[in-house]
Amino acid sequence: MSRQHASMPGVEQFDEYFHKNPAPKSLSKHQALTREFVQFHLESSPNRRIALVTSGGTTVPLENQTVRFIDNFSAGTRGATSAEYFLEAGYAVIFLHRQFSLLPYSRHYSHSTNCFLDFMEEHDGDDERVVVRKEYQEKMRRVLHQYQLAKKNRLLLLLPFTTVTDYLFQLRSLAVSMQPLGERALFYLAAAVSDFFIPRERMEEHKIQSREDHAGGQGAGASRQLVINLDPVPKFLSTLVHSWAPKGSMIVSFKLETDPALLVAKAEQALKRYQHDLVIGNLLTTRKWEVVFITRNGGERWLRVPKARRSKSISGVEELVGKAERKHEAQHVDLEGGTVTEGMEIESLIIPELAIMHTDMIENGK
């Protein structure tokens, strides 16, 4: 499929959105960093592929001087984990992440059930050193080695965002900056993007007060309801496909559902509507153990972690594994894998499959 970069449906809508909402202060800096990152790899490794991985949730501020905001549950686990496997597969990675969400490599410790200090102890000697506890040294050494390798070879660029508007400005800017990569660019849109927002002209300037305080009177200090009218965030995926992204690049989105009966159909609808390359569908309760690849040729391909290697999940429901599968002829991929963490991460199946698909697209055309 060839992509037209002329005026497409949605472009005018985004022009208005970007005109009415302020760009993040970091936009020009991040744009310069991305252009330099892309140019470095074009010159040093002409065949290097670069994946833009988006990760974490997006906030919706309720006030211009933000005290309160709407958020979602995403901590950035999928994005941070996937970034590591992209690096392992030979990609350079631009990691566009929600500020303070999980990061590649440090994710193993930053949101651990243990306090980070539990991984360390005072050295048993007179030199007053602090050392990693013996039982954690092997794993921490592996993580540290992978991180240092990525850092030494300038393979990982970390760029934060906070609000949904920040995210959209950054995504457009980064996609345009990746134009010189052409078909070697891959977009892995794992961020949980808010569907609704408050336009700037309707947003309160100062903190919304929780009580109406009038001088005297029967209603003094009475609590009041907070009613918020939200507008839909413009759907960016079609514009990314047809206007922002490099021609020939691979674009992957995610579809999260809670109802097994809806997952495959909703993923197919998204692929048809936005005309990109792949939708990865996952259920909220089984997302750590299985995903489905929905492609434009009508394929439904399930990737599942073998039961014996599934990680523990507080929110997971094992009885729902396989319940979203709609077609009897659906393909399955049950492979061994995983590197850094105990058990097996579903991303260790997802990323190698994507790399194969990306290679096929480059060699045979879309």
Q: How much is the pLDDT for 6?
A: 40
Cβ–Cβ < 8 Å for 62, 70 = yes
Both ends of the chain: CA-CA distance in Å? 5
Which of 32-41, 183-192, 314-323, 332-341 is predicted least confidently?
332-341
Average model confidence (pLDDT) for the chain? 90
Q: What is the pLDDT of residues 120-166, one digit of tens each?
A: 999 888 788 999 999 999 999 999 999 999 999 999 999 999 999 99
Alpha-carbon gap, residue 234 to 256, rounded angstroms: 19
Task: Give residue 147's identity as a one-letter amino acid code.
Answer: Y
**pLDDT computed for residue 116 by the predictor:** 85
Checking phi first, is residue 265 left (phi over 0); if not, alpha (psi -120 to 50) or beta?
alpha
The amino acid sitting at 186 is L
Tokens 């660019």 map to which residue?
Answer: 185
Res 222: pLDDT: 56
103 vs 17, 94, 198, 202, CA distance in Å? 29, 12, 28, 34
Helix 27-44 with 164-177: angle, nearest 10 deg: 30
- State percent of the chain over pLDDT 90: 75
Other Cβ atoms within 10 Å of 112 Cβ, number: 11
Q: Average of pLDDT values for 261-287?
A: 96
More confident residue, 365 or 176: 176
Confidence of residue 112 (pLDDT cuts 50, 70, 90): low
Alpha-carbon distances of 336 from 279, 345, 348, rounded to whole Å: 23, 10, 9
Token pair belonging to 347: 């991303």
SS3 209: coil
* 283 touches 322 (CB < 8 A): no
Residue 115: per-residue pLDDT: 82
Q: Which fold has domain 15-204+228-364?
A: Rossmann fold (3.40.50)
CA 112 to centroid of chain Cα atoms:
20
The answer on pLDDT for 340 being more than 80 is: no
Among 108-122, 160-174, 278-292, which is the least confidently predicted range? 108-122
* Alpha-helix residue ranges (DSSP H) falling in the chain: 11-20, 27-44, 77-88, 107-110, 134-152, 164-177, 237-239, 263-274, 347-364
Q: What is the pLDDT of residue 221?
A: 53
> At how many degrees (to 10) do helices 164-177 and 11-20 cross?
120
Work out the burial of residue 215: count CB atoms within 10 Å of its CB; fewer than 13 is exposed, 13-18 middle, 19 or more buried: exposed
| pLDDT (0 to 100) of residue 330 | 66
How large is the C-alpha radius of gyration of the chain?
Answer: 23
What residues does each domain of the chain span?
15-204+228-364
List beta partners, residue 254. 280
pLDDT at res. 110: 83
Query: What local confidence, expressed as pLDDT, does residue 366 receive?
Result: 61
Give the whole-angstrom CA distance, residue 338 versus residue 346: 8
